[in-house]
Amino acid sequence: MAVPPQLRALLLAVNALLRKRRYHAALAMVKGFRNGAVYGVKIRAPHALVMTFLFRSGRSTCTCCHDSCLPCAAWAWRRATFPNPGKTEVGPGN
Protein backbone atom coordinates (compact mmCIF):
# COMPACT_ATOMS: atom_id res chain seq x y z
CA MET A 1 0.00 0.00 0.00
CA ALA A 2 1.55 3.25 -1.12
CA VAL A 3 1.63 6.22 1.21
CA PRO A 4 0.76 9.60 -0.34
CA PRO A 5 3.74 11.97 -0.58
CA GLN A 6 2.02 14.64 1.57
CA LEU A 7 1.55 12.17 4.41
CA ARG A 8 5.14 10.98 4.11
CA ALA A 9 6.40 14.58 4.26
CA LEU A 10 4.23 15.28 7.33
CA LEU A 11 5.52 12.15 9.03
CA LEU A 12 9.14 13.10 8.34
CA ALA A 13 8.56 16.62 9.67
CA VAL A 14 6.94 15.34 12.88
CA ASN A 15 9.74 12.81 13.43
CA ALA A 16 12.37 15.55 12.93
CA LEU A 17 10.55 17.71 15.48
CA LEU A 18 10.38 14.86 17.99
CA ARG A 19 14.11 14.18 17.71
CA LYS A 20 15.07 17.74 18.67
CA ARG A 21 16.35 17.89 22.23
CA ARG A 22 14.95 21.39 22.55
CA TYR A 23 11.34 20.12 22.75
CA HIS A 24 12.03 17.14 25.02
CA ALA A 25 10.61 18.72 28.22
CA ALA A 26 7.47 20.02 26.52
CA LEU A 27 6.82 16.67 24.86
CA ALA A 28 7.33 14.90 28.19
CA MET A 29 4.65 17.13 29.74
CA VAL A 30 2.26 16.40 26.88
CA LYS A 31 2.93 12.69 27.31
CA GLY A 32 2.29 12.95 31.06
CA PHE A 33 -1.02 14.73 30.54
CA ARG A 34 -2.02 12.14 27.96
CA ASN A 35 -1.14 9.25 30.27
CA GLY A 36 -3.06 10.89 33.11
CA ALA A 37 -6.13 11.31 30.93
CA VAL A 38 -5.96 7.70 29.77
CA TYR A 39 -5.61 6.50 33.38
CA GLY A 40 -8.55 8.64 34.41
CA VAL A 41 -10.77 7.32 31.66
CA LYS A 42 -9.80 3.65 31.98
CA ILE A 43 -9.47 3.28 35.76
CA ARG A 44 -10.84 6.16 37.81
CA ALA A 45 -14.06 6.91 35.91
CA PRO A 46 -15.43 3.32 35.94
CA HIS A 47 -14.48 2.98 39.61
CA ALA A 48 -16.29 6.21 40.47
CA LEU A 49 -19.33 5.06 38.52
CA VAL A 50 -19.48 1.73 40.37
CA MET A 51 -18.99 3.42 43.74
CA THR A 52 -21.78 5.88 42.91
CA PHE A 53 -24.24 3.05 42.38
CA LEU A 54 -22.96 1.12 45.38
CA PHE A 55 -23.02 3.95 47.90
CA ARG A 56 -25.57 6.41 46.51
CA SER A 57 -26.32 8.24 49.73
CA GLY A 58 -22.88 8.16 51.29
CA ARG A 59 -22.21 5.09 53.37
CA SER A 60 -24.46 2.09 53.24
CA THR A 61 -27.30 2.30 55.75
CA CYS A 62 -28.14 -0.68 57.89
CA THR A 63 -30.49 -1.56 60.72
CA CYS A 64 -27.97 -3.42 62.85
CA CYS A 65 -26.84 -0.66 65.19
CA HIS A 66 -27.03 2.88 63.80
CA ASP A 67 -27.61 4.87 60.62
CA SER A 68 -24.27 4.44 58.93
CA CYS A 69 -22.29 1.37 59.80
CA LEU A 70 -18.76 1.02 58.40
CA PRO A 71 -18.67 -2.81 58.66
CA CYS A 72 -21.90 -3.04 56.68
CA ALA A 73 -20.49 -0.67 54.06
CA ALA A 74 -17.39 -2.85 53.81
CA TRP A 75 -19.58 -5.94 53.47
CA ALA A 76 -21.56 -4.30 50.64
CA TRP A 77 -18.33 -3.38 48.85
CA ARG A 78 -16.95 -6.94 49.20
CA ARG A 79 -20.25 -8.39 48.02
CA ALA A 80 -20.23 -6.18 44.92
CA THR A 81 -16.55 -6.79 44.19
CA PHE A 82 -16.57 -10.56 44.73
CA PRO A 83 -20.15 -11.64 44.00
CA ASN A 84 -19.48 -15.40 44.16
CA PRO A 85 -16.40 -16.17 46.27
CA GLY A 86 -16.96 -19.94 46.25
CA LYS A 87 -16.60 -20.24 42.50
CA THR A 88 -12.93 -20.56 41.57
CA GLU A 89 -13.07 -21.63 37.93
CA VAL A 90 -13.26 -18.92 35.31
CA GLY A 91 -14.42 -19.62 31.82
CA PRO A 92 -17.37 -19.63 29.47
CA GLY A 93 -20.49 -21.09 31.00
CA ASN A 94 -19.08 -21.09 34.55
pLDDT band at 65 (very low <50, low <70, confident <90, very high): low
What pTM value is reported for the model? 0.43
CA angle 83, 91, 80 (to 5 degrees): 15
Percent of the chain with pLDDT over 90: 23
Alpha carbon of 37 to those of 23, 33, 48: distances in Å?
Answer: 21, 6, 15
Q: Which of 35-39, 64-68, 74-78, 83-87 has the highest mean pLDDT?
A: 35-39
Determine the Cα–Cα distance for residues 28 and 15; give it in Å rounded to an integer. 15
Average pLDDT, the chain: 77
| Local confidence band at 73 (pLDDT 50, 70, 90 cut-offs) | low
Q: What is the pLDDT of residue 89?
A: 54
Is pLDDT above 60 for 49? yes
